[in-house]
Amino acid sequence: MIPTSWFLILGALLFSIGVVGVLTRKNGITIFMSIELMVNAVNLTFIAYARQFHDLHGLIFVFFVMAIAAAEAAIGLAIFIALFHHRNTIDVDEANLMHW
């Protein structure tokens, strides 16, 4: 039986890696993957607490977060494709204006 604290430490570590990725990278896809890593770290925390307290509310919340993350991924990738089509780069420093 793995203690809940290990899951929480892993979630905090993954979230920290995601924050560092968002703050230090310039590539839009890499920033997007770092945000997804942060979302998954929070989901791991929800699952750890749901397991500890034997409560299904955390698991249901994780299900909805994953559904929203899938929609966010589809929309975000569509934005990156449109940005690359018009600017020939996905560097966030180059994409400072939303008009073409």
Residue ranges per structural domain of the chain: 4-87
For residue 98, pLDDT over 90 is answered with no
Thinking of the domain 4-87, which architecture would CATH place it in?
Answer: Orthogonal Bundle (1.10)
pTM of the predicted model as reported, rounded to 2 decimal places: 0.86
| Cβ-defined contacts of 19-28 (< 8 Å, 24+) | 26/91, 26/92, 26/93, 27/90, 27/91, 27/92, 28/80, 28/83, 28/90, 28/91, 28/92, 28/95
pLDDT digits (tens, 9 = 90+) for 42-90: 999 999 999 999 999 999 999 999 999 999 999 989 988 988 888 888 8
